[in-house]
Structure 1
Amino acid sequence: MDTFDEYIEGIDVDEHRDRVIEILTWVEKNFPNLDTRVAWNQPMFTDHGTFIIGFSVAKNHISIAPEGKVMEQFEEKLKLAEYSFGKKMFRIKFDQDVDFDLLKEIIEFNIEDKKECTTFWAK
Protein backbone atom coordinates (compact mmCIF):
# COMPACT_ATOMS: atom_id res chain seq x y z
CA MET A 1 0.00 0.00 0.00
CA ASP A 2 3.02 2.30 0.22
CA THR A 3 2.38 3.52 -3.32
CA PHE A 4 -1.05 4.76 -2.27
CA ASP A 5 -0.21 6.26 1.15
CA GLU A 6 -0.20 9.90 0.05
CA TYR A 7 -3.50 9.47 -1.82
CA ILE A 8 -5.12 7.77 1.16
CA GLU A 9 -3.90 10.44 3.57
CA GLY A 10 -5.74 13.02 1.47
CA ILE A 11 -9.14 11.41 2.13
CA ASP A 12 -10.69 13.52 4.88
CA VAL A 13 -13.58 11.31 6.03
CA ASP A 14 -12.40 8.37 8.16
CA GLU A 15 -15.09 5.97 6.94
CA HIS A 16 -14.32 6.81 3.31
CA ARG A 17 -10.60 6.35 3.91
CA ASP A 18 -11.26 2.97 5.58
CA ARG A 19 -13.40 1.82 2.64
CA VAL A 20 -10.73 2.79 0.12
CA ILE A 21 -8.05 1.01 2.16
CA GLU A 22 -10.28 -2.07 2.33
CA ILE A 23 -10.76 -2.17 -1.45
CA LEU A 24 -7.15 -1.41 -2.41
CA THR A 25 -5.83 -3.94 0.10
CA TRP A 26 -8.24 -6.54 -1.24
CA VAL A 27 -7.04 -5.95 -4.82
CA GLU A 28 -3.38 -6.18 -3.76
CA LYS A 29 -4.04 -9.40 -1.84
CA ASN A 30 -6.07 -11.08 -4.58
CA PHE A 31 -3.97 -9.87 -7.52
CA PRO A 32 -0.39 -9.72 -6.21
CA ASN A 33 1.06 -9.75 -9.74
CA LEU A 34 -0.48 -6.38 -10.58
CA ASP A 35 1.69 -3.29 -10.29
CA THR A 36 0.51 -0.23 -8.37
CA ARG A 37 0.85 3.41 -9.26
CA VAL A 38 -0.88 6.74 -8.80
CA ALA A 39 -1.63 8.61 -12.02
CA TRP A 40 -4.13 11.37 -12.73
CA ASN A 41 -4.47 11.54 -8.92
CA GLN A 42 -5.94 8.02 -8.84
CA PRO A 43 -4.64 4.78 -7.39
CA MET A 44 -4.49 2.24 -10.17
CA PHE A 45 -3.35 -1.24 -10.94
CA THR A 46 -1.51 -2.23 -14.12
CA ASP A 47 -0.32 -5.45 -15.71
CA HIS A 48 2.77 -5.51 -17.97
CA GLY A 49 2.42 -1.73 -18.36
CA THR A 50 -1.24 -1.75 -19.35
CA PHE A 51 -4.06 -0.25 -17.32
CA ILE A 52 -6.31 -2.75 -15.52
CA ILE A 53 -8.36 -0.74 -13.01
CA GLY A 54 -8.33 2.62 -11.24
CA PHE A 55 -10.12 4.13 -8.26
CA SER A 56 -11.07 7.62 -7.18
CA VAL A 57 -13.04 9.09 -4.30
CA ALA A 58 -15.88 11.56 -4.58
CA LYS A 59 -18.08 13.04 -1.87
CA ASN A 60 -20.62 10.19 -1.80
CA HIS A 61 -18.98 7.33 -3.65
CA ILE A 62 -15.91 5.55 -4.95
CA SER A 63 -15.52 5.55 -8.72
CA ILE A 64 -14.05 2.40 -10.21
CA ALA A 65 -12.73 2.58 -13.76
CA PRO A 66 -11.90 -0.65 -15.60
CA GLU A 67 -12.19 0.74 -19.21
CA GLY A 68 -15.11 0.79 -21.61
CA LYS A 69 -15.10 -2.77 -22.94
CA VAL A 70 -15.36 -4.11 -19.42
CA MET A 71 -18.29 -1.82 -18.69
CA GLU A 72 -20.16 -3.18 -21.70
CA GLN A 73 -19.39 -6.77 -20.67
CA PHE A 74 -20.60 -6.29 -17.08
CA GLU A 75 -23.48 -3.85 -17.56
CA GLU A 76 -26.18 -6.28 -16.40
CA LYS A 77 -24.22 -7.39 -13.34
CA LEU A 78 -23.59 -3.76 -12.39
CA LYS A 79 -27.31 -3.09 -12.63
CA LEU A 80 -28.03 -6.10 -10.40
CA ALA A 81 -25.51 -4.78 -7.86
CA GLU A 82 -27.37 -1.44 -8.02
CA TYR A 83 -24.23 0.47 -8.93
CA SER A 84 -24.61 3.55 -11.09
CA PHE A 85 -22.29 3.64 -14.06
CA GLY A 86 -21.15 5.40 -17.19
CA LYS A 87 -19.22 4.32 -20.27
CA LYS A 88 -15.89 3.79 -18.54
CA MET A 89 -16.59 3.62 -14.82
CA PHE A 90 -19.03 2.64 -12.11
CA ARG A 91 -19.76 4.03 -8.66
CA ILE A 92 -20.12 2.35 -5.30
CA LYS A 93 -21.80 4.64 -2.81
CA PHE A 94 -20.25 4.68 0.63
CA ASP A 95 -23.46 3.23 2.09
CA GLN A 96 -23.45 0.30 -0.37
CA ASP A 97 -21.72 -3.04 0.07
CA VAL A 98 -18.77 -3.81 -2.15
CA ASP A 99 -19.49 -6.83 -4.35
CA PHE A 100 -16.00 -8.30 -4.21
CA ASP A 101 -17.00 -11.28 -6.35
CA LEU A 102 -18.06 -8.89 -9.11
CA LEU A 103 -14.92 -6.81 -8.67
CA LYS A 104 -12.85 -9.99 -9.00
CA GLU A 105 -14.65 -10.95 -12.21
CA ILE A 106 -14.09 -7.50 -13.66
CA ILE A 107 -10.37 -7.47 -12.86
CA GLU A 108 -9.88 -11.03 -14.14
CA PHE A 109 -11.71 -10.18 -17.36
CA ASN A 110 -9.57 -7.10 -17.96
CA ILE A 111 -6.33 -8.97 -17.25
CA GLU A 112 -7.29 -11.69 -19.73
CA ASP A 113 -8.64 -9.28 -22.31
CA LYS A 114 -5.48 -7.15 -22.22
CA LYS A 115 -2.88 -9.92 -21.94
CA GLU A 116 -1.57 -9.12 -25.44
CA CYS A 117 -2.07 -5.36 -25.14
CA THR A 118 1.09 -3.32 -25.66
CA THR A 119 -0.36 0.10 -24.84
CA PHE A 120 -1.48 1.62 -21.56
CA TRP A 121 -5.09 2.13 -22.68
CA ALA A 122 -7.00 -0.35 -24.82
CA LYS A 123 -7.35 0.70 -28.44
Structure 2
Amino acid sequence: MKTLDEYLAWIENPSHRERMEEIFNWIRDKYPNLQPTIKWNQPMFTDHGTFIIGFSISKKHAAVAPEQEAIAHAKGDIEKAGYDCTENIIRLPWDRPVPYALLEKLIDFNLRDKADCTTFWRK
Protein backbone atom coordinates (compact mmCIF):
# COMPACT_ATOMS: atom_id res chain seq x y z
CA MET A 1 0.00 0.00 0.00
CA LYS A 2 1.22 3.44 -0.88
CA THR A 3 -1.80 5.75 -0.48
CA LEU A 4 -4.70 6.34 1.88
CA ASP A 5 -7.07 5.28 -0.90
CA GLU A 6 -5.29 1.93 -1.20
CA TYR A 7 -5.47 1.52 2.58
CA LEU A 8 -9.18 2.31 2.60
CA ALA A 9 -9.82 -0.15 -0.25
CA TRP A 10 -8.06 -2.82 1.83
CA ILE A 11 -10.58 -2.46 4.71
CA GLU A 12 -13.19 -5.17 4.20
CA ASN A 13 -15.93 -3.93 6.53
CA PRO A 14 -17.79 -1.09 4.75
CA SER A 15 -18.73 0.75 7.96
CA HIS A 16 -15.13 0.59 9.22
CA ARG A 17 -13.90 1.86 5.84
CA GLU A 18 -16.40 4.75 5.97
CA ARG A 19 -15.34 5.66 9.51
CA MET A 20 -11.65 5.75 8.59
CA GLU A 21 -12.38 7.75 5.46
CA GLU A 22 -14.35 10.22 7.61
CA ILE A 23 -11.41 10.58 10.01
CA PHE A 24 -8.87 11.00 7.20
CA ASN A 25 -11.05 13.60 5.47
CA TRP A 26 -11.47 15.50 8.74
CA ILE A 27 -7.68 15.59 9.20
CA ARG A 28 -7.12 16.72 5.61
CA ASP A 29 -9.73 19.49 5.99
CA LYS A 30 -8.61 20.67 9.45
CA TYR A 31 -4.86 20.25 8.88
CA PRO A 32 -4.16 20.73 5.16
CA ASN A 33 -0.44 21.09 5.91
CA LEU A 34 -0.20 17.48 7.14
CA GLN A 35 1.08 14.96 4.62
CA PRO A 36 -0.66 11.57 4.47
CA THR A 37 1.64 8.61 4.08
CA ILE A 38 1.66 4.85 4.50
CA LYS A 39 4.52 3.33 6.48
CA TRP A 40 4.63 -0.23 7.81
CA ASN A 41 1.23 -0.68 6.08
CA GLN A 42 -0.34 1.88 8.42
CA PRO A 43 -1.77 5.29 7.51
CA MET A 44 0.05 8.21 9.11
CA PHE A 45 0.17 11.96 8.87
CA THR A 46 3.44 13.87 9.01
CA ASP A 47 4.58 17.48 9.19
CA HIS A 48 8.00 18.54 7.84
CA GLY A 49 8.99 14.85 7.74
CA THR A 50 8.13 14.11 11.36
CA PHE A 51 5.39 11.78 12.56
CA ILE A 52 2.28 13.48 13.95
CA ILE A 53 -0.40 10.76 14.18
CA GLY A 54 -1.03 7.26 12.88
CA PHE A 55 -3.89 4.78 12.74
CA SER A 56 -4.60 1.09 12.56
CA ILE A 57 -7.73 -1.01 12.72
CA SER A 58 -8.92 -4.21 14.34
CA LYS A 59 -12.22 -6.03 14.49
CA LYS A 60 -13.40 -4.09 17.56
CA HIS A 61 -11.81 -0.66 17.19
CA ALA A 62 -9.70 1.84 15.33
CA ALA A 63 -6.42 2.61 17.08
CA VAL A 64 -4.93 6.08 17.22
CA ALA A 65 -1.17 6.28 17.73
CA PRO A 66 0.13 9.80 18.41
CA GLU A 67 3.33 8.72 20.29
CA GLN A 68 3.62 8.28 24.06
CA GLU A 69 4.19 11.95 24.87
CA ALA A 70 0.90 13.00 23.28
CA ILE A 71 -1.02 10.26 25.09
CA ALA A 72 0.57 11.30 28.39
CA HIS A 73 -0.36 14.92 27.64
CA ALA A 74 -4.03 14.02 27.00
CA LYS A 75 -4.33 11.14 29.49
CA GLY A 76 -6.94 12.92 31.64
CA ASP A 77 -9.09 13.75 28.62
CA ILE A 78 -8.81 10.19 27.30
CA GLU A 79 -9.90 8.72 30.62
CA LYS A 80 -12.65 11.31 31.13
CA ALA A 81 -14.06 10.46 27.70
CA GLY A 82 -14.03 6.77 28.61
CA TYR A 83 -11.57 5.53 26.02
CA ASP A 84 -9.15 2.68 26.67
CA CYS A 85 -5.49 3.36 25.99
CA THR A 86 -2.00 2.00 26.44
CA GLU A 87 1.23 3.99 26.37
CA ASN A 88 1.18 3.82 22.57
CA ILE A 89 -2.43 3.71 21.33
CA ILE A 90 -5.94 4.91 22.06
CA ARG A 91 -8.73 2.49 21.14
CA LEU A 92 -11.77 4.03 19.46
CA PRO A 93 -14.59 1.45 19.43
CA TRP A 94 -16.49 1.31 16.17
CA ASP A 95 -19.82 1.80 17.96
CA ARG A 96 -18.90 5.16 19.52
CA PRO A 97 -18.68 8.59 17.87
CA VAL A 98 -15.26 9.79 16.76
CA PRO A 99 -13.82 12.06 19.49
CA TYR A 100 -12.69 14.83 17.17
CA ALA A 101 -11.90 17.24 20.02
CA LEU A 102 -9.51 14.64 21.44
CA LEU A 103 -7.90 14.03 18.04
CA GLU A 104 -7.48 17.78 17.67
CA LYS A 105 -5.80 18.01 21.09
CA LEU A 106 -3.38 15.20 20.19
CA ILE A 107 -2.52 16.62 16.78
CA ASP A 108 -2.15 20.18 18.07
CA PHE A 109 0.14 18.99 20.86
CA ASN A 110 2.37 17.08 18.44
CA LEU A 111 2.51 19.99 16.01
CA ARG A 112 3.69 22.32 18.81
CA ASP A 113 5.92 19.82 20.58
CA LYS A 114 7.59 18.58 17.38
CA ALA A 115 7.81 21.92 15.57
CA ASP A 116 11.61 21.78 15.61
CA CYS A 117 11.94 18.00 15.41
CA THR A 118 14.29 16.86 12.65
CA THR A 119 13.62 13.13 12.96
CA PHE A 120 10.57 10.98 12.16
CA TRP A 121 10.09 9.82 15.77
CA ARG A 122 10.91 11.76 18.92
CA LYS A 123 14.31 11.07 20.38
- Superposed CA RMSD in Å reads 1.0
Residue of structure 2 equivalent to 1:28: 28
**Alignment-derived partner of residue 75 in structure 2:** 75
Partner Cα separation in structure 2 for residue 17 and residue 72 of structure 1 = 28
Q: TM-score, normalised by structure 1?
A: 0.96
Give, in angstroms, the shift of residue 108 of structure 1.
0.6
Identity over aligned residues, as a percent? 44
Q: State the Cα distance separating 1:3 from its structure 2 match.
A: 2.5
Read off the aligned partner of 2:18 and give its amino acid letter.
D
Match of 2:87 in 1: 87
Deviation at 1:81, TM superposition (A): 1.4
Q: Which runs of 5+ in 1 are unaligned?
A: none
TM-score (norm 2): 0.96
Contact 2:74-2:105 within 8 A present in 1 as well: no
Deviations 1:66-93 (A, max 9, x none): 0000111111100111111010110100
Q: Tell me how far apart the structure 1 counterparts of residues 82 and 98 of structure 2 sit (CA, whole Å).
A: 11
**What SS does structure 1 have at the residue aligned with 2:98?**
coil
Letter in 2 for 1:55: F
What's the counterpart of residue 120 of structure 2?
120
Residues matched between the structures, number: 122
Q: Name the residue aligned to 1:8.
A: 8
Match of 1:62 in 2: 62
Q: Distance in 1 between matches of 2:50 and 2:82?
A: 28
Instruction: Tell me the SS of whatever aligns to 2:3.
Output: helix
The CA distance in 2 between the partners of 1:70 and 1:83, in whole Å, is 15
Counterpart of 2:39? 39
Give the secondary-structure state (helix, strand or coil) at the position aligned to 1:6.
helix
Q: What is the alpha-carbon distance in structure 2 between the residues aligned to residue 106 and residue 82 of structure 1? A: 16
Amino acid at match of 1:51: F
Hey, what's the Cα distance between the residues in 2 that align with 1:5 and 1:71?
27
Q: Could you list the runs of 5+ residues in structure 2 that have no partner in the other structure?
A: none
Runs of 4+ in 1 over 3 A off after TM superposition: none
Q: Which residue of 1 aligns with 2:109?
A: 109
